[in-house]
Amino acid sequence: AGLAVAGRALGDPSLRIIGVQPEGVDSFRPALEAGHVVTVAPPRTFADGLATREVGRLCLEILREARAEAWTVNDAEIARATFLLLERAKVLAEGAGSAPLAGLLTHAGSLPDGPIVAVVSGGNLDPFVLDRILWYGLVAEGRLLRLRTLLGDRPGELNGFLKVAADRGANVRQIHHEREAPGGGPAEVGVEVELEVEGPEHAARLVESYGQSGWTIERIPLGAELRFDRTVTAAPSTRK
């Protein structure tokens, strides 16, 4: 509402005011459509600065007069925007501050012509929430790759499997070695490894390299990966 008042003072009729809210507490859009304050369900979002179940009456009047628009984004999209601000702009923003950038990224096809300003405000971010956001951001950018395979239970087999990743510039983030792995025989062990990669293309090349090297692998979709509509495929082969 404050931006709408400032915009009105500029006297530019082409100025558009767009408010961005999390899907988990979308109280602005229904209020604009109904023409009155609407109370929504309890919020489900980490962007607590926007977690209001209803828009203030005065704010709604100002925004309706300014013909403001409403966009919604999900928490995964806000997390990605927070990650990008931190990595590329070196700006630590809380969820509410990152929501405008999330809106621009998510609604790229609806962007107006001319200059665009995304107001990034607030840096009140819990360290534990930031830790989860960084993981979501890495997944969204295709920087993590998780693979599962069965190895022969003999010395050097794990080293050979990891050497494929090392030779192609991937770093092991974490690894789980399971002797009684599902589907494995008495002479096999299961390994699940999470790798740091440069991006989706690097990950795809690495998966292809494993197949060409004769390893049977399964690519495991990461939880956040599914929220960004990424297509995750396996590249099976037969270990010779």
Residues in contact with 126: Cβ distance below 8 Å, sequence separation at least 6, in sequence order = none
CATH code: domain 2-139 is: 3.40.50.1100
Q: What is the mean pLDDT of residues 34-61?
A: 92
Answer whether residue 108 shows pLDDT above 90: no
Residues in contact with 80: Cβ distance below 8 Å, sequence separation at least 6, in sequence order = 102, 105, 136, 137, 140, 141, 228
Reported for 107-113, long-range contacts at CB under 8 A and 24+ positions apart, including other chains, are 107/71, 110/71, 112/16
Tell me the pLDDT tens digit for each residue of 141-197: 899 999 999 999 999 999 999 999 999 999 999 999 988 888 888 889 999 999 999
Mean confidence (pLDDT) of the chain: 88
Tokens matching residue 59: 């704010």
> Among all chains, which residue has been given the structure tokens 């501050």?
97
Please, are residues 79 and 101 in contact by the beta-carbon 8 Å criterion?
no
Query: With the C-alpha atoms ordered 152, 158, 159, 161, is the resulting torsion angle positive or negative?
Result: positive
> Among all chains, which residue has been given the structure tokens 């390893």?
215
The span from the CA of 65 to the CA of 86, in Å, is 35
Tell me the pLDDT tens digit for each residue of 67-103: 889 999 999 999 999 999 999 999 999 999 999 999 9
Please, are residues 144 and 197 in contact by the beta-carbon 8 Å criterion?
yes
Q: Compute CA 230 distance to the chain's CA centroid, rounded to the nearest angstrom.
A: 11
Domain ranges of the chain: 2-139, 142-228
The span from the CA of 2 to the CA of 148, in Å, is 52
Tokens matching residue 201: 């293309």
Please, are residues 93 and 122 in contact by the beta-carbon 8 Å criterion?
yes
Same fold: 2-139 with 142-228:
no
Q: What is the mean pLDDT of residues 10-20?
A: 87
Q: In the beta sheet, which residues pair with residue 70?
A: 19
CATH fold of 142-228: Alpha-Beta Plaits (3.30.70)
pLDDT the model gives residue 223: 66
